[in-house]
Amino acid sequence: MNNSRLDTTTFIGIFLAFGAILGGQILEGGHVGSLIQLTAFVIVIGGTLGATLIQFSTPVFMLGMRLTKWVFFTPNIVLTEVIDQVVGWGNTARRGGLLSLEPLLEEMDDPFMRKGLQMLVDGAEPDKLREMMEVEMEAYDEHHRLAAKVWESAGGYSPTIGILGAVLGLIHVMENLSDPAKLGAGIAVAFVATVYGVGAANLFYLPFANKIRAVIGREMVKRAMVVEGLVAVANGENPRLIETRLRGFIA
Amino acid sequence: MNNSRLDTTTFIGIFLAFGAILGGQILEGGHVGSLIQLTAFVIVIGGTLGATLIQFSTPVFMLGMRLTKWVFFTPNIVLTEVIDQVVGWGNTARRGGLLSLEPLLEEMDDPFMRKGLQMLVDGAEPDKLREMMEVEMEAYDEHHRLAAKVWESAGGYSPTIGILGAVLGLIHVMENLSDPAKLGAGIAVAFVATVYGVGAANLFYLPFANKIRAVIGREMVKRAMVVEGLVAVANGENPRLIETRLRGFIA
Amino acid sequence: MNNSRLDTTTFIGIFLAFGAILGGQILEGGHVGSLIQLTAFVIVIGGTLGATLIQFSTPVFMLGMRLTKWVFFTPNIVLTEVIDQVVGWGNTARRGGLLSLEPLLEEMDDPFMRKGLQMLVDGAEPDKLREMMEVEMEAYDEHHRLAAKVWESAGGYSPTIGILGAVLGLIHVMENLSDPAKLGAGIAVAFVATVYGVGAANLFYLPFANKIRAVIGREMVKRAMVVEGLVAVANGENPRLIETRLRGFIA
Amino acid sequence: MNNSRLDTTTFIGIFLAFGAILGGQILEGGHVGSLIQLTAFVIVIGGTLGATLIQFSTPVFMLGMRLTKWVFFTPNIVLTEVIDQVVGWGNTARRGGLLSLEPLLEEMDDPFMRKGLQMLVDGAEPDKLREMMEVEMEAYDEHHRLAAKVWESAGGYSPTIGILGAVLGLIHVMENLSDPAKLGAGIAVAFVATVYGVGAANLFYLPFANKIRAVIGREMVKRAMVVEGLVAVANGENPRLIETRLRGFIA
Amino acid sequence: MNNSRLDTTTFIGIFLAFGAILGGQILEGGHVGSLIQLTAFVIVIGGTLGATLIQFSTPVFMLGMRLTKWVFFTPNIVLTEVIDQVVGWGNTARRGGLLSLEPLLEEMDDPFMRKGLQMLVDGAEPDKLREMMEVEMEAYDEHHRLAAKVWESAGGYSPTIGILGAVLGLIHVMENLSDPAKLGAGIAVAFVATVYGVGAANLFYLPFANKIRAVIGREMVKRAMVVEGLVAVANGENPRLIETRLRGFIA
């Protein structure tokens, strides 16, 4: 169920963002090449990466990097399929008791659903079941939101480090004021650092963090539905009522 | 009840905002034409759209766009009519029991009220009724607030991308310092990007997001009143007391 | 009890703020007249008004405007008088029962206190009484805080629209670089828009919003005391104990 | 117990802050005198004071001013002494009953502890005792945090009013461009307003607000311990257990 | 268990951050020496230290300094070891009763775990045990987060004090406009203060604060697991169930 899907909106967005900057540059008669500056790149990207590495522990930083795949290949969380599945459990349990759910455990890919189903089969009390699944939900939420903060922090450091790069460039310009011919070009180089810092943060880092957070949010809705459904099945509720209740989670 | 109404305040506001900018430009003896710059437009609008598309999934982005109609045609949520309707249900239920509410289901346009009324007719327990309606309320609230964030995010990216456009323009100017005649005009072009970025965010994107959020807030008050009323009717409370209680929701 | 009182602090504050700006201008040997610019005024005030109108619905905007009177004439909320009144109700109820409070209804100006007293006289259960009064308190709080946001939003838009005005002015200046004599004066005009935008936000809009919010906060403390007192009277508590308890609300 | 103590850290901090600014100015070969500008002082300090006065009611503003003494003479809140005292009450109550605490009332300086002790002696129920003391705690917290906001608001207004002063100065400079000799000095004067606005906010107003808030936080911990202890004594708990429990409040 | 471990990510991050700035400076053909300015250092570091000292009390400031070691030597909090330990307690208690846990007290290094174990051995009621341990957890959390704010506040003051230093430098430059040869170099010196202020905040102070907070967060998860486990052991729960439950805390 959780297989991912190429997120065309992300690709259109990145194409548009790059196209707007480069297209604008060309429309104005400028050279695209004057936007490519190794010095600015080293300062802005290196400095941002450095600050982000200091802030996060290695495992959280690595998780943040791995979650980046969600920006391009969004997990395909189909909430209606969750309803079908949970209602199916309810029907099975009604007919053959909670133990009859055991064969379903093998074909279950999602570890959260499998753990819940296992507890259901083991005959856990509804209250204990809910409590334990909610502890796990919260741990998932906190851990993944922390990882999404890797991109958010990069988006926070990047513009100021871009300004840092610009100021470093301007210092260099000011020290060579005696050669006015180089003045303009020097300032131009300095400004490229600002473009890198502000652009990377606003066109990539911050949207990345927000898209990752949206996926986490959707996964949390799915998990809340699973917990609600498991408790209802454990309570032996009518599958039709379970369906009505779970539909309320989908706006 | 939820038919919409042309929001004259929005139109007066947009007229005022445009009038202030253009009027100011004319008063100062400037040409309105010098505020029209294709390059700046491409960078600022294209870049903002790109960043926003990366951040949101397609369905949320589309919902954000659709909700924009609320800025111009505000849904006409008349809270006193909700009171009349709920009190009417209370009176009907008092006379003929909850089942006598069934004929009202057909003429009910609002899906949230219809679902609640259906549960009432089906004889749902008051506690279950409240719980299920509140899950649905929360899902509506979260989903629509996320969509309102499309405009808020655009309002967050737009000014910085405007500054990006200005810096791109200044780089171009600096590379052509040898021709001082073009200096001023070049800087002027660069500044237009700032005007686009700051203006679009402050005169449109952010007010749009806030107006959409206000409509959601009012709809949530309506829904809270409906839930409160449904539970009271299910409890067989005195319709006059229901009216007093619901009036408390209207400040 | 809620009659208002001229707020001398506000007037001293406005006098000081204006005096500081104008006095500073005169001390530096500048002309006060150079701070008066129709163009800047049109752009900054018109643009801010436009953005604010787009954001708010007409009734909320109008309430925000009406609450502005609180900045100059603060409602005179004397919490000790509330204690005296509630303790008086307690004593009356002790001697003659809750019905003996009925004659007090006529002379009660405050609609919130009258509604609560009416419910007390009608013999509402303490729990119901508290619940209904708290719904009304929350509706009052949300509605008035939303109205206070009119000034807060104006304070948010104003500085950026001031910068917009400055940039518009600078564009005009840059297009006329050929006439250096006009350069300085042109830039001066452009800067006045910044002064208007930043000054209006920091010296008026934001302090207005905060003072209005403080009045709402004080009214909410009063209402919390009224509800606490009504419930205590309904429970037939000792008036001396009610007084001790209500005194705890006054820091 | 609540006698205050000269806060050497504050004095070292102020000495360092002033020393850094003045020392830096001297190191660079500048005159300290060029940092003293009556005009800038009038605009920045007067404007900030004006905005702050508009925002706050007179009693809150005065309380904010009075709390400033805490920045220099921090109240000496010794949490271990609170434990000793509360445990002492527990022992006294164990031996001679709650009434035997009455003689302690006279020598109690702290009004919050005296009120709680009085209620204990009067035989208030533990639940009522906790509820009433917590209402008072919350009122104290809200009231004093509002007063701490006087400095926080001043810290918010000051930098922007500093920029306002700089812009006013620059307007003056621009109008006198014809005399280039005065150009630099004029701009220097303008910049002093920025130094005043940013410096006052970051070196004084904001640290003041935060130190006041820290004192309030510590007082709230003390009060939470007092309430916890009073309730435990009212419940007749073992003084040793009370001590263990209260130690948990001290990190 | 809580022995620390050299945090290589931090060292790589600091190396990268310094390398990016210095490498960029060298790539651009600038002298690294022109980034070393005593004046700027005195103003920015001294001013930031001053503001931070005013804000915090001496013990909190000192704790903030001591926690800095966590940035370089992260405490090695292995959550799976906590599970092993707690499950071990459960097994021991099952076999020999709670008193059989007493010998474990001696070899317990972690004071929080020792205190909880002591209460368990003393036969504290599960509810009391949880309540007292949670009070201690909250005190730990608040106290240490306050200390982490020392670095966060430094990160807030540093950039503005950097700008202060730049403005002080520019004032000096403006007063010596008559000697254009010194103009550029003077401005360059002024800009170094910005580099120091922005760089120190973004590359060190803010990442430090965030890394310290992450360690506190992980310690709080460990403590929550310990409390959950202690209560389960006190309730005589099955050690296997305790293990399943505690695993839920690890995302």
- The pLDDT confidence band at residue E117, using thresholds 50, 70 and 90, is very high
Burial category of B222 from C-beta neighbours within 10 Å (exposed 0-12, middle 13-18, buried 19 and up): buried
Whether the predicted pLDDT of E146 surpasses 70: yes
CB B14 within 8 A of CB B22: no
C43: nearest CB among B24, B194, B210? B24
Whether the predicted pLDDT of C129 surpasses 60: yes
Q: Which residues of chain E have a CB within 8 Å of the CB of A164?
A: 21, 194-195, 198-199, 202
Q: Say if the Cβ atoms of A10 and B161 lie within 8 Å.
A: no
Whether the predicted pLDDT of E150 surpasses 60: yes
Nearest CA in chain C to D146: C214
**Quick one: pLDDT at residue B1?**
41
**Quick one: pLDDT at residue A6?**
85
Say what angle helices C126-175 and C58-67 make with each other, to 10 degrees.
90
User: What is the model's pTM?
Assistant: 0.88
- The pLDDT confidence band at residue E32, using thresholds 50, 70 and 90, is confident
Q: How far apart are CA A30 and CA A37, in angstroms?
A: 15
Dig out the tokens for D131 from the structure. 């509820």
Whether the predicted pLDDT of C19 surpasses 80: yes
φ, ψ (nearest 5 deg) of residue D19: -60, -40
* Three-state helix/strand/coil letters over chain B: CCCEEECHHHHHHHHHHHHHHHHHHHHCCCCHHHHCCHHHHHHHHHHHHHHHHHHCCHHHHHHHHHHCHHHHEEECCCHHHHHHHHHHHHHHHHHHCHHHHHHHHCCCCCHHHHHHHHHHHCCCCHHHHHHHHHHHHHHHHHHHHHHHHHHHHHHHHHHHHHHHHHHHHHHHHHHCCCCHHHHHHHHHHHHHHHHHHHHHHHHHHHHHHHHHHHHHHHHHHHHHHHHHHHHHHHCCCCHHHHHHHHHCCCC
**Quick one: pLDDT at residue B87?**
94
At A167, is the secondary structure helix, strand, or coil?
Answer: helix
Whether the predicted pLDDT of A172 surpasses 90: no
Alpha carbon of D109: minimum distance to chain E alpha carbons (Å): 24
DSSP string, D179-204: -GGGHHHHHHHHHHHHHHHHHIIIII
Q: Say if the Cβ atoms of B46 and A16 lie within 8 Å.
A: yes
Q: How far apart are CA D130 and CA A141, in angstroms?
A: 35
Q: Identify from A15, A68, A202 which residue to disrupt to test chain B contact, counting B C-beta atoms within 10 A and taking the largest count.
A: A202
pLDDT in tens, B160-197: 999 999 988 888 887 777 776 677 777 877 889 999 99
Q: Which H or E run contains E110? A: none
Mean pLDDT score of chain E, rounded to an integer? Answer: 90
- The pLDDT confidence band at residue B33, using thresholds 50, 70 and 90, is confident
φ, ψ (nearest 5 deg) of residue E4: -95, 175
Q: How far apart are CA D87 and CA B14, in angstroms?
A: 67
Chains B and A touch (3+ CB pairs under 8 A): yes
Nearest CA in chain E to A183: E184
Whether the predicted pLDDT of E160 surpasses 80: yes
pLDDT in tens, A68-101: 999 999 898 899 999 999 999 999 999 988 899 9
Interface contact E224, partner D, CB < 8 A: no
Pairwise pLDDT comparison (C2 vs C228), residue with the higher score: C228
- The pLDDT confidence band at residue A175, using thresholds 50, 70 and 90, is confident
Please report the number of interchain residue pairs, chain B to chain C, with beta-carbon separation below 8 angstroms: 165
List of residues 6+ apart from A197 with CB closer than 8 A: A44, A48, A158, A159, A160, A161, A162, A163, A165
At A5, is the secondary structure helix, strand, or coil?
Answer: strand
User: Which of A32-46, B218-232, C170-184 is most confident?
Assistant: B218-232
Alpha carbon of E106: minimum distance to chain A alpha carbons (Å): 32
Residues 109-148 of C with CB under 8 A from B: 132-133, 135-136, 139-140, 142-144, 146
Q: Among A85-89, E181-185, E244-248, which is the least confidently predicted range?
A: E181-185
Mean pLDDT score of chain C, rounded to an integer? Answer: 90
Which chains form contacts with chain A, at 3 or more CB pairs under 8 Å? B, E
At D77, is the secondary structure helix, strand, or coil?
Answer: coil
Partnered with residue D74 across adjacent β-strands are D5
Q: Among C2-11, D64-73, E192-201, which is the least confidently predicted range?
A: C2-11
- Cα-Cα-Cα-Cα dihedral sign, residues E171, E175, E180, E182: negative
Q: Say if the Cβ atoms of C55 and B13 lie within 8 Å.
A: yes
Q: Which residues of chain A have a CB within 8 Å of the CB of E36?
A: none
Interface contact E1, partner D, CB < 8 A: no
Dig out the tokens for A213 from the structure. 């957070």
pLDDT in tens, A98-139: 899 999 888 888 999 999 999 999 988 999 999 999 999 999
Angle at B106 between CA B100 and CA B107, to 5 degrees: 105
- Cα-Cα-Cα-Cα dihedral sign, residues B105, B111, B113, B119: positive
Whether the predicted pLDDT of D180 surpasses 80: no
Whether the predicted pLDDT of D1 surpasses 50: no
List of residues 6+ apart from B58 with CB closer than 8 A: A8, A9
Q: Which residues of chain C have a CB within 8 Å of the CB of B16?
A: 46-47, 49-50, 53
% chain A with pLDDT above 90: 62
Ranges of H-type helices in D28-125: 38-55, 58-67, 69-72, 79-96, 111-121
CB E169 within 8 A of CB E135: no
Whether the predicted pLDDT of A2 surpasses 60: no
% chain C with pLDDT above 90: 63
Q: Identify from D21, D198, D227 which residue to disrupt to test chain E contact, counting E C-beta atoms within 10 A and taking the largest count.
A: D21
**Quick one: pLDDT at residue B146?**
94
First vs last Cα of chain C: how many Å apart? Answer: 20
CB A119 within 8 A of CB A131: no
Q: Identify from B44, B45, B49, B53 which residue to disrupt to test chain A contact, counting A C-beta atoms within 10 A and taking the largest count.
A: B53
Q: Among A203-212, C222-231, E73-82, which is the least confidently predicted range?
A: E73-82
Rg of chain D in Å (alpha carbons) = 26
**Quick one: pLDDT at residue D169?**
86
Q: Which residues of chain C have a CB within 8 Å of the CB of D130?
A: none
Mean pLDDT of C145-164: 94
Partnered with residue A6 across adjacent β-strands are A73
Dig out the tokens for D80 from the structure. 């271990």
Alpha carbon of C220: minimum distance to chain B alpha carbons (Å): 13
List of residues 6+ apart from B116 with CB closer than 8 A: B129, B133, B226, B227, B230
- The pLDDT confidence band at residue C224, using thresholds 50, 70 and 90, is very high
Q: Which residues of chain C have a CB within 8 Å of the CB of D57?
A: 7, 9, 74, 211, 214
CB C8 within 8 A of CB D57: no
Whole-Å CA distances, D106 to A198, B118, B216, D81: 65, 66, 57, 18
For residue B92, the Cα-to-chain-centroid distance in whole angstroms is 36
Interface contact C104, partner B, CB < 8 A: no
Dig out the tokens for C119 from the structure. 């419910």
**Quick one: pLDDT at residue D76?**
85
Q: Say if the Cβ atoms of B244 and C132 lie within 8 Å.
A: yes
Mean pLDDT score of chain B, rounded to an integer? Answer: 90
CB A4 within 8 A of CB A76: yes
Whether the predicted pLDDT of E172 surpasses 90: no
Q: Say if the Cβ atoms of B21 and C174 lie within 8 Å.
A: no
Residues 56-75 of C with CB under 8 A from D: 71, 74
**Quick one: pLDDT at residue D175?**
77
Interface contact D220, partner C, CB < 8 A: no
Whether the predicted pLDDT of B15 surpasses 60: yes
- Nearest by Cα to E205 from E248, E145, E153, E250: E153
Which chains form contacts with chain D, at 3 or more CB pairs under 8 Å? C, E
Nearest CA in chain E to A37: E28
Whether the predicted pLDDT of C2 surpasses 60: no
C135: nearest CB among B191, B192, B248? B248
Q: Say if the Cβ atoms of D135 and C245 lie within 8 Å.
A: yes
E24: nearest CB among A42, A54, A177? A42
Q: Which residues of chain C have a CB within 8 Å of the CB of B21?
A: 43, 47, 164, 168
Pairwise pLDDT comparison (A43 vs D177), residue with the higher score: A43
Q: How far apart are CA D198 and CA D98, in angstroms?
A: 56
Nearest CA in chain E to D29: E172
Mean pLDDT of A206-224: 95
C132: nearest CB among B71, B187, B245? B245
Dig out the tokens for E204 from the structure. 């060190």
Q: How far apart are CA B42 and CA A240, in angstroms?
A: 53
Angle at A140 between CA A135 and CA A146, to 5 degrees: 125
CB C50 within 8 A of CB B13: yes
CB C46 within 8 A of CB B17: yes
Interface contact D13, partner E, CB < 8 A: yes
- Nearest by Cα to C207 from D197, D201, D43, D150: D150
What's the complex ipTM?
Answer: 0.85
Per-position b or e across E162-181, b if 16+ CB within 10 A of its CB: bbbbbbbbbbbbbbebeeee
**Quick one: pLDDT at residue E35?**
86
Interface contact C200, partner B, CB < 8 A: no
Q: Say if the Cβ atoms of A171 and E188 lie within 8 Å.
A: yes
**Quick one: pLDDT at residue A1?**
41
pLDDT in tens, C59-77: 999 999 999 999 999 888 8
Residues 16-45 of E with CB under 8 A from D: 38-40, 42-45
Q: How far apart are CA C238 and CA C227, in angstroms?
A: 16
Chains C and B touch (3+ CB pairs under 8 A): yes
Mean pLDDT of D102-125: 90
For residue D60, the Cα-to-chain-centroid distance in whole angstroms is 13
- The pLDDT confidence band at residue D7, using thresholds 50, 70 and 90, is confident
Interface contact C235, partner D, CB < 8 A: no
Per-position b or e across C85-98, b if 16+ CB within 10 A of its CB: bbbebbebbeeeeb
Residues 161-180 of E with CB under 8 A from D: 161, 163-165, 167-178
Interface contact E238, partner A, CB < 8 A: no
Partnered with residue E75 across adjacent β-strands are E4
Q: Say if the Cβ atoms of E13 and A50 lie within 8 Å.
A: yes
φ, ψ (nearest 5 deg) of residue C138: -65, -40
Interface contact A206, partner B, CB < 8 A: yes
Q: Say if the Cβ atoms of B198 and C160 lie within 8 Å.
A: yes
Say what angle helices D79-96 and D111-121 make with each other, to 10 degrees.
20
Whether the predicted pLDDT of C44 surpasses 80: yes
Mean pLDDT score of chain D, rounded to an integer? Answer: 90
- Cα-Cα-Cα-Cα dihedral sign, residues D48, E152, E62, D249: positive
Whether the predicted pLDDT of C175 surpasses 50: yes
Q: Among A52-56, C171-175, D210-214, D245-249, which is the least confidently predicted range?
A: C171-175
A42: nearest CB among E23, E183, E249? E23
Whether the predicted pLDDT of B2 surpasses 70: no
CB D182 within 8 A of CB D176: yes
Q: Which residues of chain C have a CB within 8 Å of the CB of D161?
A: 198, 202-203
